[in-house]
Amino acid sequence: MANSPATPGLAAGRLAPQAYQDNFTDLHPPLNDHEALVAADRCYFCHDAPCMDACPTTIDIPLFIRQIATGTPEAAATTILTQNILGGMCARVCPTETLCEEVCVREVAEGKPVTIGQLQRFATDKVMESHPFTRATPTGKTVAVVGAGPAGLSAAHRLAMHGHDVVLYDARAKAGGLNEFGIASYKSVDGFAAREVDWLLSIGGIEVKLGQALGNGLQLDELAKRYDAVFLGIGLTGVNALGCDGEDKDGVLDAVDFISDLRQADTLSTLPVGRRVVVIGGGMTAVDAAVQAKLLGAEDVALVYRRGRDRMNASRFEQDLAASKGVRIITHASPKAIHGNGAVVEIEFAYTQDGPGGLAETGETFRLKADQVMKAIGQTLGDANGLKLEGRKIAVNDTGRTSHTGIWAGGDCASGGDDLTVTAVAEGRDAAEDIHATLMGG
């Protein structure tokens, strides 16, 4: 196996036991009541709030912050969750620094925004022991939702709330999608992703069937015949190849698999990590993998991206976080070959530059020693099951309708918005509303 602990250079237990606990504590500890009131007091409660426009789920941010400021955080949670049923996780993982907080009037005027994400977490945490919504009278309609990630969970909850019976399928052994398997552990501690799923399902009317995927126990045509509607939130299941010699050597693995293994590990000290790790990519997954490799005890971690830092999909906050943990960020370099006798020993890169014709190699190369290489250069859809594509994703309209009558799609698998948790939630919600209107004759 590519990530086998028998691979030379890989080892588990590089750190003292306490170090693992210290390294993987909450990235942003929750606010206490006093801290939340102080933070909320900084909000101007703008009438034409730019933060709302910047939020993919259009949460009424000034309203929920005012509700916190007046001592009613439970009401604030309802305001948030009405628009974003996964508001708890989004408060933890959203790049708020490039969304709502970037356009905050306080940020523009003072360089220090209202901490909207932390306030959202404060409010939503208050209602995790209860459910603010009730299920409508059953309609007799049934909907299949394939994929129990953010888009699928959002769609399933909204459909169930409207009274439809939902069967939620997922290929994995646990629901949650990227929230459960693809987010850095220090962003979601104490099993929050699983607890949020249980909380969401408590509305009722949602049956979960795990270990079933399209092409493996499920056929899209059969689902379309059996159910009144189908929603696909299947995400992106494949990982793009580096396209260079030596990619099949031991020690070369997909960053998403590394993150998933880490998230599901009972004991972090059992996870093997290289002494010298190279992560290839420039997005959130690349940063999450690089930072966590460092936190597991890797001595040298380099994140290598083919363009400049200004072109990286990872936000500046994420880039700075990686640097603060000791990750070296190397830009304008593209992988050429992975060297080693069976297992990776070093990886060769070509320097690149942006020119009139796009990205081009300069003719110069360099090598980095590595005993573990992680690929994080984007994911692919896989089988589109006969649905029309737009680019490499399922083509949908603005309410998630696909080319097949009765089938909707949203999240990373669908054309349209950014590949963010919050965007997936919005797309699942909006598709569910369109499915509801269609089923009820609207």
CA dist 420 and 417 (Å) reads 8
* Residue recorded with tokens 């009139």: 356
Token pair for 274: 């290289």
Q: 408 with 146: CB under 8 angstroms? A: no
Q: 181 with 264: CB under 8 angstroms? A: yes
CATH class of 240-375: alpha beta
Q: Which among 93, 128, 115, 125 is positioned nearest to 35, based on CA atoms? A: 115
Q: 192 with 167: CB under 8 angstroms? A: no
**Whole-number Cα distances in Å, 329 to 79, 242, 268:** 40, 18, 25
Reported as a single tens digit per residue, the pLDDT across 297-318 is: 999 999 999 999 999 999 999 9
pLDDT less than 50: residues of the chain: 1-5
User: H helices within 204-277, ranges in order?
Assistant: 220-226, 255-264
Where is 105: in which H helix or E strand?
Answer: helix 105-110
Domain boundaries along the sequence of the chain: 33-125, 142-237+381-439, 240-375
352 - beta bridge partners? 361
Please tell me the CATH code under which domain 142-237+381-439 is placed: 3.50.50.60
33-125 and 240-375 share one fold: no
The pLDDT of residue 5 is 44
**Whole-number Cα distances in Å, 414 to 35, 229, 384, 410:** 39, 17, 10, 5
* Residue recorded with tokens 């005993």: 371
Q: 160 with 133: CB under 8 angstroms? A: no
User: Would you list the DSSP string of 305-336?
Assistant: -SS-GGG-SS-HHHHHHHHHTT-EEE-SEEEE
Please tell me the CATH code under which domain 33-125 is placed: 1.10.1060.10
> Which residues, in sequence order, are CB contacts of 198 under 8 Å at separation 6+?
none
Reported as a single tens digit per residue, the pLDDT across 30-68 is: 999 999 999 999 999 998 999 999 999 999 999 999 999
Reported as a single tens digit per residue, the pLDDT across 340-392 is: 999 999 999 999 998 888 899 999 999 999 999 999 999 888 778 899 999 98
